[in-house]
Amino acid sequence: MAKTRTQFMCLECGTAHERHMGRCPDCGTFNSLKEHRLAPQPSQPRTIRQSSPPVAVPIEQVDASEGDRIVTGLSEVDRVLGGGLVPGCGLLISGEPGIGKSTLLLQIAQTVSRQGKRFLYVTGEESAAQVRLRSDRIGAAGSELWLHSGCDLGSIEELIDQNQPVVVGIDSIQTICWDQIPAGAGGVTQVREVASRLLAMARNVGFPILMVGHVTKDGTVAGPRTLEHMVDAVLQFEGERGHSLRILRALKNRFGSTEEVGIFEMCADGLKEVDNPSGLLLSSRHGSSPGSATAAILEGTRPLLVEIQALVTPAAHGAPARKPSGIDAGRLSMLAAVLEKRLGIPLGDCDIHANVVGGVKLKGTAADLALAAAILSSFHDRSLPKDVIFAGEVGLLGEVRPVPGTRQRLEEASRLGFHSACVAPGSIDGSGPEGMRIHEIEELQTLAARFIQ
Ligand code: TYD
Ligand code: MG
């Protein structure tokens, strides 16, 4: 017989603890734990078979087939997933509010349903009518797209039992509530319990489940963070509000690489897959103005050209300001310090604003050389040649180092009409792409001498 369980729930952060404590170890609030008796409950979701005796088998006898993948039909999503959804898998689509997660899930639901596969779309945030209106606006749904507007986990489990969907989408996991847990929807305990029951059901019945989860910029309102280890894949949807570019990145993927990214543009009628992201990003380039340099970066395995802008002005108030956007603040300070020390330019008396155009966030160090070139260009008020791209890491001594995938970066640049490239010595074997002039830059002094002075 199932036993009655007792938990101590923090009224402040919603976390459940096994024993009583004077202070909640999760949020640090004093005297916030309150005792709750949980109703007796079956220990497993209803669709799970009672556990069988433990077995171990030799590795070669283990069935390693993933089953037939379910292609979503959105090629950028399939690329990130490594070829489609694996039956029984659990997937988290995370991102900041307003970035486009619901739109992405709905578009996946549309393309899956158009293949005649039933997609159960559970919306806990919007009414079914709102979802229908959005769906009509952004594309065509197949007749197998089924909507349920509600937040109750029991009803969702029943609906899945009845309707036997091929794929299930939940928008969002924070809104779904299991009445066996006293804490309100969105609390860490609720989110974890609800997700674990849905994931167990998905695994046993064999349907893939896509769960949307909101994450704030610093990741603190953290339902989804606690889910990351429970699911098979975490797809993070990134972008800047006010910019249309969106990047879907696999932070974790048990069924494929985490190197692939999907690139979309948010348009008035939904998300469009972007074949030529560099073209989109450079479309408004001001290459001939001082302070602009083009960096060749890699997003996953895809080369991407982005415009980096810097504005260097005399410091307005005492301490110099460093204002990066899309660039790591530490990296900007470091480059300014290296430029000051190695080239003797007085950046310590200057404010520096630096920006990546188009809402891309730079990761890694491959754009160092472009950023240094943009800062130099703005400081001296001299434009860089418009058809040159930069790819290289800058060290503390002002030396320029090769970055991985340089040839791919140069080929992308050549495709987009760039005729010269600045890279570290030894970055590529042999010559560069046809018609492209390669400048080998050993250190920042060489860069300044060749392009600025
Ligand atoms: P949404 O998918 O609701 O974001 P999330 O679920 O991550 O909170 O989309 C939010 C924004 O996207 C909204 O501000 C409007 C914009 N948007 C478009 O620009 N075009 C569209 O076709 C749709 C559906 C949304
Ligand atoms: Mg939403």
Q: Which fold has domain 71-275?
A: Rossmann fold (3.40.50)
Residue 110 main-chain phi, psi, to 5 deg: -65, -50
Q: How far is CA 65 from CA 91, 94, 231, in A?
A: 19, 28, 19
Segments in the chain below pLDDT 50? 1-2, 42-49, 221
**How far is it, in rounded angstroms, from Cα 296 to Cα 370?**
8
pLDDT on residue 5: 62
pLDDT on residue 29: 77
Instruction: Tell me the pLDDT of the chain averaged across its residues.
Output: 87
Sequence-separated (6 or more) residues with CB below 8 Å from residue 2: 40, 41, 42, 43
Domain locations in the chain? 5-38, 71-275, 279-452
pLDDT on residue 42: 47
Whether ligand 1 lies within 6 angstroms of the CB of 248 is answered as: no
pLDDT on residue 271: 95
pLDDT tens-digit series, residues 314-360: 998 778 999 999 999 999 999 999 999 999 999 999 999 999 998 88
Q: Best substitution site from 106, 170, 266 to test ligand 1's pocket, by max atoms within 8 Å of Cβ?
A: 266
Q: Whose CA is nearest to atom 9 of ligand 1?
A: 100
Residue 116 DSSP class: T
DSSP 417-440: T--EEEE-TTSSSS--STT-EEEE
Whether ligand 1 lies within 6 angstroms of the CB of 270 is answered as: yes
The neighbouring-strand residues paired with 393 are 401
pLDDT tens-digit series, residues 422-451: 999 999 888 889 899 999 999 999 999 988
Residue 410 corresponds to which tokens in the numbers above?
A: 């140069």
Q: Best substitution site from 103, 173, 246, 265 to test ligand 1's pocket, by max atoms within 8 Å of Cβ?
A: 103
pLDDT on residue 4: 53
Q: Does domain 279-452 have CATH number 3.30.230.10?
A: yes
